[in-house]
Amino acid sequence: MKTYTISEIAQVFDGPHATPKRQDSGHYFLNISSLSRGRLDLDLSDHVSDEDFAKWTRRVTPLAGDLLFSYETRLGEAALMPEGVTACLGRRMGLLRPNRNLVDPRFLLYFYLAPPFQKLIEQNTIHGATVNRIPLNSMGSWSVRLPPLPEQQAIAEVLGALDNKIAANTALALAADGVIRTEYEKFEMTDVRVGQVANSPRVSVSPSKVAADELYVGLEHVGRRHMWLTDGGTAGEVSSAKSAFAAEDVLFGKLRPYFHKVVLAPRAGICSTDILVVRPSDHGMASVLLAALTSDAVIEQVVAASEGTRMPRTSWKDLSTATIRWPRPDQAAGTAARLDSISRAVIAAVEENRTLAATRDAFLPQLMSGKLRVRDAEAMAAAAGATTLTGVDDER
C-alpha cells in the first residue's frame, strides 16, 4: 500500500452552479438522481440543447472512465462515465479524472464506494443549514492509501465480473419490455375499463411493523418506461406510513405520470403512497395487466385526467376509468401463459441481481482491506454466477 493525495491520483472538477433549460432529447445533463449504488442510470437524466451543452462543458466534458459523484446532498454516491455517451455535468455533480498510471478507473469507483472512503467523506463533510456538501477546494488534499496498480486491476476484475453479470441481467429485463409489448399487441382484444379487471387495495402499514429487510419501493427506485423493478430499498430505511403490496401487483407511479413509472412487483413489500397498488381481479392475468398499464395509451389517458400543473398527480379514480385492451375469454389463458413465461424469466434475473449485488457489497470492504484474497474472491464470484474476463494467478 502507498499513500497518495486525491490530487495525485485524479483531477477534481465540478459542473456549473446553475441549471440549463432541460429538454426531452439531445446531450445528456447528468443529475445526481442518476447515480444509483455505483451505476449511472441515464433514464433519470435530462437533456440539453447544443447551445447549452457548449456552455456547460467549458469547465470540463465528462469522458469514459471519469468518476462522477455527488458533492451536495446524496453524498457518497458515485458512478463511472460510460463509453459512447455525450454529456455535461449537472448541478451538484463532481468529477474525478483518474491518473491511469496510478489508479485503475474501475478500482477507483469501488474504492470510492468502500466503507473507508465513505468514512473519509463523512469526516470532511460541511454541514449546512439546507444541504451537506463535500468541500471540493480541499478534496484534493485528502490522503488515501492504494495497493499497486496490478492488484487494483485484479480487485476491479473480480468486482467487475459481478457487475457485468448484473448488467447482463438488466439488459435482459430491458429487452423483455419490447417482447412483452409485441406479444401483447398480437392478440385479438376487446376494450374494457381498468376498474373492470383490476382493483386498488389500500392497505396502510407502518414500516416499524414489518421486517427491516422487507422490500421498500419509492418512486426513485422505479425506472421510466421500464416494466421491471431493478432497484429498491428496505423497510428499515423509511419511517412514515406506506402502502402494502403483494407479489405480481402492478405498481403505478401517481406523481407526474408522464414519467411512465409502472412496474411488476417481484415479491411482497411496501411502497410510497405516491404509488398506486393495482391488483388484477384474476391473479393469473398479472402479466397482461402489466402490459396494458404500461402502454402509451393508458399513460396518455391518465396524464390528460391528472390534477395539478407543476406536479400533476393521478389517482385510482382516473386510472380505473382508463380504457385498455383486454383478451377475449377464449384467448385469455393463452395470452397470460405467454406473457407470464417472459415475466418469470425476467423476475428470476432481477432477483439474481439482488444476490449478486449483495455478494459484491460483501466482497468490497474485505478486498480493499486485504482480508479476502483476490483468488478466493474470484472462486466465490464464479460460484455466485459471475466469471472474470481473464484468469488471476495463484500468487494473488
- Across the range 8-32, mean pLDDT stands at 87
pLDDT at 388: 44
Q: Does residue 391 have a pLDDT over 50?
A: no
Same domain, 118 and 193: no
Same domain, 142 and 8: yes
Q: Is residue 343 situated within a structural domain? A: no
pLDDT at 278: 98
Q: Is residue 378 situated within a structural domain? A: no
Same domain, 90 and 30: yes
Of 146, 164, 199, the residue that ends a domain is: 146
Q: Is residue 375 situated within a structural domain? A: no
Of 327, 353, 370, the residue that ends a domain is: 327
Q: What is the CA radius of gyration of the chain?
A: 23
Q: Is residue 97 situated within a structural domain? A: yes
Same domain, 141 and 8: yes
Q: Does residue 344 have a pLDDT over 80?
A: yes
Burial of 281 (0-12, 13-18, 19+ CB in 10 A): exposed
Q: Is residue 334 situated within a structural domain? A: no
Residue 386: pLDDT band with limits 50, 70, 90: low
Same domain, 61 and 193: no
Q: Does residue 393 have a pLDDT over 60?
A: no
Q: Which domain holds residue 132?
A: 2-146
C-alpha dist (Å) from residue 229 to 21, 250, 260, 292, 350: 30, 11, 13, 17, 7
CA 72 to chain centre: 19
pLDDT at 385: 64
- Of 271, 340, 332, 260, nearest to 300 by C-alpha is 260
Which pLDDT tens digit goes with each residue over 170-227?
A: 889 889 999 999 989 888 899 999 999 999 999 999 999 999 999 999 998 998 888 9
Distance in angstroms (rounded) separating the CA atoms of residues 212 and 207: 8
Q: Is residue 333 situated within a structural domain? A: no
Same domain, 12 and 142: yes
Same domain, 131 and 7: yes
- Of 26, 24, 104, 108, nearest to 69 by C-alpha is 108
What φ, ψ does residue 241 adopt, rounded to 5°?
Answer: -60, 140
pLDDT at 379: 78
Residue written as grid cell 468518476: 67
Q: Is residue 84 situated within a structural domain? A: yes
Same domain, 196 and 318: yes
Same domain, 43 and 122: yes
Same domain, 234 and 311: yes
Same domain, 117 and 201: no
Residue 17: pLDDT band with limits 50, 70, 90: confident
pLDDT at 119: 94
CATH number of the domain enclosing 119: 3.90.220.20
The number of domains in the chain is: 2
Q: Is residue 381 situated within a structural domain? A: no
Which pLDDT tens digit goes with each residue over 310-341?
A: 789 999 999 999 999 999 988 888 899 999 99
Which pLDDT tens digit goes with each residue over 106-157?
A: 999 999 998 889 999 999 999 988 889 999 999 999 999 999 999 999 999 9
Q: Does residue 394 have a pLDDT over 50?
A: no
Which pLDDT tens digit goes with each residue over 260-314?
A: 999 999 999 999 999 999 999 999 999 999 999 999 999 999 999 998 777 899 9
pLDDT at 25: 87
Percent of the chain with pLDDT over 90: 64
C-alpha dist (Å) from residue 8 to 99, 102, 118: 8, 8, 19
pLDDT at 232: 87
Of 327, 361, 391, the residue that ends a domain is: 327
Same domain, 11 and 141: yes
- Across the range 1-29, mean pLDDT stands at 89
